[in-house]
Amino acid sequence: MEPDIRHFPWIKSYPAGVRWDAALPATAVQQLLDDAVAKWPDHFALDFMGHKTTYRELGALVDRAAKGFQQLGVKPGVHVGLYLPNTPHYAICFFAALKAGGIVVNYSPLDAEKVLAHKIADSETDILVTLDLATLYPQMDKLLDSTRLKTLVIGNIPEMAEHPEEVRAQMRKAGQLAQVKDDARHIRFAALLDNDGQYHAYPLQDVIEEVAVLQYTGGTTGLPKGAMLTHANLTTACSQLHAVVSGEPKVLEEGGERVLAVLPLFHIYALTVNMLFGIRMGAEIVLHPRFDLDAVVKDLAAKKITVFCGVPTMYTAIIHYPGIADYELSSLKFCGSGGAPLPVEVNQSFQHLTGCCLVEGWGMTETSPTGTFTPVYGMQKIGSCGMPTVGVTLKFVSVEDPSLDVARGERGEMCIKGANVMKGYWKNPQATEESMTPDGFFRTGDVGYMDEDGFIYIVDRTKDMILCGGYNVYPRNIEEAIYEHPSVAEVSVIGIPDAYRGQAPKAFITLKPGAEAFTLDELKSFLRRRLGKHEMVQSMEIRSALPKTPVGKLSKKELYEDEERRRSRPASNAA
């Protein structure tokens, strides 16, 4: 049954020209690139280390990589892993894997070895693309021998740069390159492309059902789950983004924007907003492999960037950059913030600095990741993450009983329904079922409320998760790693406020009888091979006992209360 939009309070708050019931075209994801190649063949698609690639050139590289993948055995049912930073290799192999008939599995270079091994096994990844970087290749080469992986495709950064020999010499001098093995299981990226590009096309039968990407998201316990994002999920999300920037006046123009892509493309936020939507708009995408503040500020000004999406920590860094007021940033037309709540003072300072409206939205891996938006032109509310985007329905249910809706203005767990919401969790029907309400809404785990104008305010989380610089960090994973320390008896990890990252993990520990105490640096050293960099504990407190519930379970409520009190007075025994 179609929803009665007359009862949606956010409809009246939409900016002129934006309709909640606008058409949201859903296609094969690779069609986004094919359409861009047809419309803007001579426009630049990518800018990486001084080398620019047109849409026609990008399309040809993708076709050659698609045939190369098929020669390696990629076809429907085969999963191709991408373990890459932001380089052209990512865009080329992402679309090529889909054109070859495969499914893309994103891997984070921040993940610990145990998590990578789990993802390889769980996702059934047989072929994986990476670079010959010392921080990437050795990790995957090791897993090639201990997991189901059959083939590594290895690229290098210099081959995509304007001056490859100069870049190679600099990287070699800095010790950034690894020695790559030369055998049948290690395929050079150049060899993958060494063909005529005449791949065998596999037309999709059902874009709503067929999975394009397995995007892993953590759970409150255990190992990460793979969100099955279909072709329709991802292209609907792009259509939603297009709809909200196409009001009156238009925020963005097709074929005329320049996007600075510094958020990692392996993350759903950047994958959809920067790459897929950027290509749908025919934008030039300036790729940065990592967040280097000097390089970001320089390119924002020198390359006249019009679109920049980041997380709050990036905007904090930009506004405090020495001499930032001397940079010409007036080319910026759209700046978005997501991944964590945006401090009001950061928002206001950035807008004052650039003259560009910094808008906040909410989304998650399971929603591809669209959900809410704040209009550039129109009503905005401080402290809100915006209102439901085009084609999305949001409601709030009782935290205690998700079968019961709460009244508007009352706090409850936010639930979402829309064509952008995932198909389910890969090979995990129980988790899929548990994540849904009886009437088919996805339970987000965020607690908040909607006001009379349809604006959403997030106030808490039902899930035990810490937001560190835009990354989801799960305390249970950290706790399990700390429990491996021979001196640890019990541990609880919570998120505490961090001026730069928003939140940071803090560990509360009790020791085994007779065990010697250790320092925070010693604990970090122990955890280095067990946790990703984004998960590393930033503070620690050793206690004689940890708070527990009446039934004996460790309780974090008291720890949060202790930290709240601690912030009002000097810390006494934190490491």
- Cα-based angle 289, 295, 300 (whole degrees, multiple of 5): 105
Confidence of residue 573 (pLDDT cuts 50, 70, 90): very low
What's the mean pLDDT in 519-532? 94
Asked if residue 152 lies in contact with residue 141, where contact means CB atoms within 8 angstroms, the answer is yes
Asked if residue 62 lies in contact with residue 95, where contact means CB atoms within 8 angstroms, the answer is yes
Residues 6+ apart with CB under 8 A from 340: 311, 312, 313, 467, 469, 470, 502, 503
What's the mean pLDDT in 485-514? 92
**pTM, 2 dp:** 0.87
Token pair, residue 478, equals 């950290």
What's the rounded Cα separation, in Å, for the pair 132 and 157? 8
What's the mean pLDDT in 168-178? 97
What's the rounded Cα separation, in Å, for the pair 71 and 74? 7
Residue 564 has pLDDT above 80, yes or no: yes
Q: Where are the beta strands (DSSP E) in 426-534?
A: 442-450, 456-461, 466-468, 471-473, 488-498, 502-511
Residue-averaged pLDDT of the chain:
93
Whole-number Cα distances in Å, 228 to 95, 114, 279, 372: 17, 22, 22, 21
Helix or strand (DSSP H, E) at 559: helix 557-566
What's the rounded Cα separation, in Å, for the pair 574 and 447? 30
CATH number of this structure's domain 49-203: 3.40.50.980
Highest mean pLDDT among 67-71, 397-401, 557-561 belongs to: 67-71
What's the mean pLDDT in 339-354? 86
Token pair, residue 302, equals 């020198």
Helix or strand (DSSP H, E) at 190: helix 189-192
What's the rounded Cα separation, in Å, for the pair 360 and 310? 10
Q: Please report the sign of the dihedral spanned by the C-alpha atoms of residue 274, residue 276, residue 277, residue 281.
A: positive
Check residue 517 and give left, alpha or beta (phi > 0: left; psi -120 to 50: alpha): beta
pLDDT tens, residue by residue, 403-429: 999 999 999 999 999 999 999 999 999
Helix or strand (DSSP H, E) at 108: none
Would you state the pLDDT for residue 218? Answer: 60
pLDDT tens, residue by residue, 363-378: 999 999 999 999 999 8
Token pair, residue 569, equals 């007075």
What's the rounded Cα separation, in Å, for the pair 122 and 138? 21
Residue 570 has pLDDT above 80, yes or no: no
What's the mean pLDDT in 312-329? 92
Residue 340 has pLDDT above 60, yes or no: yes
% of the chain exceeding 90 in pLDDT: 79
Token pair, residue 357, equals 């409206």
Would you state the pLDDT for residue 575? Answer: 46
Would you state the pLDDT for residue 313? Answer: 81
Residue 285 has pLDDT above 50, yes or no: yes
In residues, how long is the chain? 575
What's the mean pLDDT in 163-188? 97
Would you state the pLDDT for residue 4? Answer: 72
Residue 313, classed as helix, strand or coil, is helix
Token pair, residue 67, equals 């045939």
What is the amino acid identity at position 285? Answer: I
Rg (CA), the chain: 24
User: Quick check: do 1-28+229-463 and 49-203 share a fold?
Assistant: yes
Would you state the pLDDT for residue 2? Answer: 61
Would you state the pLDDT for residue 551? Answer: 53
Report which of 408, 508, 479, 501 is spatially closest to residue 449, judged by C-alpha positions: 408
Per-domain residue ranges of the chain:
1-28+229-463, 49-203, 466-566
Check residue 359 and give left, alpha or beta (phi > 0: left; psi -120 to 50: alpha): beta
Residue 398 has pLDDT above 50, yes or no: yes
Angle between helices 137-146 and 113-123 (to 10 degrees): 50
What's the rounded Cα separation, in Å, for the pair 309 and 482? 34
Would you state the pLDDT for residue 222? Answer: 59
CA dihedral (291, 297, 303, 305) in degrees, to 10, reads 80
Would you state the pLDDT for residue 487? Answer: 94
Instruction: Work out the end-to-end distance of the chain between its first and last CA atoms, rounded to an integer number of angstroms.
Output: 57
Confidence of residue 550 (pLDDT cuts 50, 70, 90): low
Residue 304 has pLDDT above 50, yes or no: yes
Highest mean pLDDT among 166-170, 243-247, 459-463 belongs to: 166-170
Would you state the pLDDT for residue 248? Answer: 87
Q: 466-566: which CATH number, 3.40.50.720, 3.40.50.300, 3.30.300.30, 1.10.3470.10?
A: 3.30.300.30
What's the mean pLDDT in 310-315? 88
Q: Give the distance, in angstroms, between the CA of residue 259 and the centroid of all CA atoms in the same chain.
A: 17
Q: Is 340 exposed, middle or buried (0-12, 13-18, 19+ CB in 10 A)?
A: buried
pLDDT tens, residue by residue, 26-48: 999 999 999 999 999 999 999 99
Least-confidence region, from 136-140, 412-416, 546-550? 546-550
CA dihedral (415, 418, 419, 421) in degrees, to 10, reads -10
Token pair, residue 94, equals 């992402």
Would you state the pLDDT for residue 574? Answer: 45
Residue 204 has pLDDT above 90, yes or no: yes
Token pair, residue 385, equals 């993450």
What's the mean pLDDT in 450-462? 88
What's the rounded Cα separation, in Å, for the pair 165 and 313? 34
Q: Per DSSP, what are the bridge partners of residue 443?
A: 415
Would you state the pLDDT for residue 187? Answer: 98
Asked if residue 241 lies in contact with residue 277, where contact means CB atoms within 8 angstroms, the answer is yes
CATH number of this structure's domain 1-28+229-463: 3.40.50.12780
